[in-house]
Structure 1
Amino acid sequence: MKKWIGSALVYLLLVVGGYTAYSFYAGDDATQSDGNHGDHQEEEKNGGNEEEGHDGGGHDEHGDHEGESSSEVQADVKLEGEEMTITLTDLDGNPMDELVVSHEKLMHLIVISEDLEQFQHLHPEKVSEGVFTTDADLEEGMYQAFVDIKPSELEYVNEAHPVMVGEHGGHEDDHVHLEPESQWTKEQGDYSVTLDVNNFSVKENVVLSFEIEEAEPEDYLGALGHVVVVDEGLDEFIHVHPREGEKPVFEAHFSKPGMYKLWAEFKLNGKVYAFPYVLEITE
């Protein structure tokens, strides 16, 4: 009997010991398996983040590109003596003169002194591929020139081009600070022109109506007149033509509040006059 009991105890110990050993090694394998699975998940997660980062970078680059100037035409303005030369090129540096005629001209050149006192509206003529010239009788000082063109296919942004006349080097005080005015009747030669403005807000288009005393505006470059507007820093340029009809009524949009100077050009009895006004545009 004792022998049988001893054998049973030995058998029981072997079973328990075998089960314990199996549990230990099986548990270790399971832990290693779980750890590898966790590492695989982390790699997939990191991989997904890296892909998102790549997409984000591509989007950022696209945004930076969108912020760049959209002009596909470059204009270079130079003055030698009294001759001003404008050279047009595409982004590859090739001559570009595929322009649409706008108000009877391929090019309108607006030249304004930095003190906002001198104004000239010129029309350069093509002399060679991509090159236009015109005579410019300018007093000594600093000017900004605006090349107003309409390329037939390429995008164009009209920007200011500095022009120095004489030995004048340009100083801070050349840039004036315009003051609001309340005198809306201006005189040039024998003529008086009164401006009526319907509003002074950037939130809606500004309608500019002109009343010319004792004269009727004649056709000038295919219109009853032209209005050129710049801000006091000569950074913003607006060139508008009148609405269709028999009255010189113009409509302009201002992108930001500030002080602006405009010149209204009319041809009266065969001669062109420019009447200057100052506007204060508000929010």
Structure 2
Amino acid sequence: MNTATKLGGFALGLAAVFGAAYGVGQVTGPVTTVVADEHPGTVGHAPAVPGPEADGSGHHPDDPGTDAPDPAGRQPGGLLVADRGYTLVPVDAPPGEFAFRITGPDGQSVTGYDVSHDKRMHLIVARRDLSGFRHVHPELAADGTWRVASPLDSPGVWRAFADFTPTGAEPLTLGVDVTVPGQLTERPLPAPASSSTVDGYTVELAGTPQPGRASTLTLTVRRDGVPVTDLDPYLGAYGHLVALRRGDLGYLHVHPEGVPGDGRTAAGPRVSFTTEFPSAGAYRLYLDFSHGGKVRTAEFTVHLGDPGSIPAPEAAGPDDGHGTPGHGHD
């Protein structure tokens, strides 16, 4: 993969929600990376909670693992290639491989990273039309280069998000556009729905998120109609939720309430997340969950500003298996 990097003179703000522009056509030439100008104040996560971690998962003992709303009202993560002195730098790689490095305030490659949810680097990629999504974990070389088998599996314009915490610094999410050549067609965003089916599993989404306000989303996992009560711990949690805003692909990575093994958190069927969506608009939600040793992704479209876009949370019923998700009652 020959990666050409071009700095573009644009800044993405909360109100700048605009559609992907490629449509039907042919993309030719080498894979190209396009990045945005540095613009301070972009965050993908709330600042890290100070103090000792409970374990190698990256959780603070008193932190439920959710991404709290940013008190400064800053932008969601992933809109910028550079923030707070750190820059995402694509690296030339052989075909079939994706490589990059992070440079720090001193201009040198960063080699020290904190573990967050069992990994030092989370790489999330999504096509600009939100029709493709992958969450992978690159390997770090001694020179500070991250390498992984390319998760870009179809032609189109992709956004790559590097989600990480440099040692001694706050969590960051940096983003860069990558164009994969070939015949492509822009795909319309699926209509909002409260149910998603993947690989024989049905996931129900409940909650009424409102822009600019903290809200709780609950996802219930069933297999062949039977509640799943033995979800696998995956990256230190029973599920991971990524939300991408249509247009600029503003990024939210949310961790669920509770931690596996804390004595309070059920292993399904329900997994709850509390987060704040920064603005009205259309969002695509991706839930990663693991069962039977395999990770699956359930996808949803949510239109914020439309109260009827998804239903209110359902009351607990006799088929709930382990009971209320997240923090249990003592």
The TM-score normalised by the length of structure 2 is 0.59
**Structure 1 vs Structure 2: percent identity of aligned residues?**
26
Task: State how far apart, in whole Å, the 2-side matches of 1:268 and 1:113 are.
Answer: 26
Deviation at 1:280, TM superposition (A): 1.3
Task: State how far apart, in whole Å, the 1-side matches of 2:234 and 2:170 are.
Answer: 27
Which amino acid in 1 is paired with 2:203? V
Task: State how far apart, in whole Å, the 2-side matches of 1:132 and 1:156 are.
Answer: 17
Whichever structure has more helix as a proportion of its residues is 1
| 1:264 aligns to 2:287 (yes or no) | yes
Task: State how far apart, in whole Å, the 1-side matches of 2:214 and 2:191 are.
Answer: 19
Q: 1:263 to 1:129 in 2, by over 3 A?
A: same
Match 1:239 to one of 253, 257, 260: 253
Name the structure 1 match of 2:202: 192
Which amino acid in 2 is paired with 1:90? G
Q: Deviations over 1:87-121 (max 9, x none)?
A: 11113321112211011100000010112111100
Task: State how far apart, in whole Å, the 2-side matches of 1:193 and 1:95 are.
Answer: 41
The TM-score normalised by the length of structure 1 is 0.68
Q: Deviations over 1:177-205 (max 9, x none)?
A: 64652x311111111110101x2212421
Task: State how far apart, in whole Å, the 2-side matches of 1:196 and 1:96 are.
Answer: 40
- Give the unaligned 5+ runs of structure 2: 1-38, 42-82, 259-264, 307-330
Name the structure 2 match of 1:120: 134
The farther-off stretch of 99-108 and 183-192 is 183-192
Name the structure 1 match of 2:154: 139
Aligned length: 211
Q: Deviations over 1:222-261 (max 9, x none)?
A: 1001000100114310001110122411111111111100
Task: State how far apart, in whole Å, the 1-side matches of 2:167 and 2:176 are.
Answer: 22
The equivalences for 1:157-236 within 5 A come to: 157-167=172-182, 174=186, 178=189, 180-181=191-192, 183-197=193-207, 199-213=208-222, 214=226, 215-216=228-229, 217-236=231-250
State whether residues 163 and 172 of structure 2, in contact with CA within 8 Å, keep that contact through their aligned partners in structure 1.
no
Task: State how far apart, in whole Å, the 2-side matches of 1:203 and 1:95 are.
Answer: 36
Pair member with larger Rg:
1
Task: State how far apart, in whole Å, the 2-side matches of 1:141 and 1:104 are.
Answer: 31
Q: What's the RMSD between the two structures over aligned residues?
A: 2.2
State whether residues 177 and 232 of structure 1, in contact with CA within 8 Å, keep that contact through their aligned partners in structure 2.
no
State whether residues 227 and 240 of structure 1, in contact with CA within 8 Å, keep that contact through their aligned partners in structure 2.
yes
Q: Report the 3-state secondary structure (helix = DSSP H, G, I; strand = E; otherwise coil) of the residue aligned with 2:162.
A: strand
Name the structure 2 match of 1:255: 278
Q: 1:253 to 1:177 in 2, by over 3 A?
A: farther
Report 1 or 2 for greater relative contact order, CA contacts < 8 Å, sequence distance ≥ 6: 2
The ranges of structure 1 where at least 4 consecutive aligned residues each deviate by more than 6 angstroms after the TM superposition are: none
- Give the unaligned 5+ runs of structure 1: 1-66
State whether residues 89 and 96 of structure 1, in contact with CA within 8 Å, keep that contact through their aligned partners in structure 2.
yes
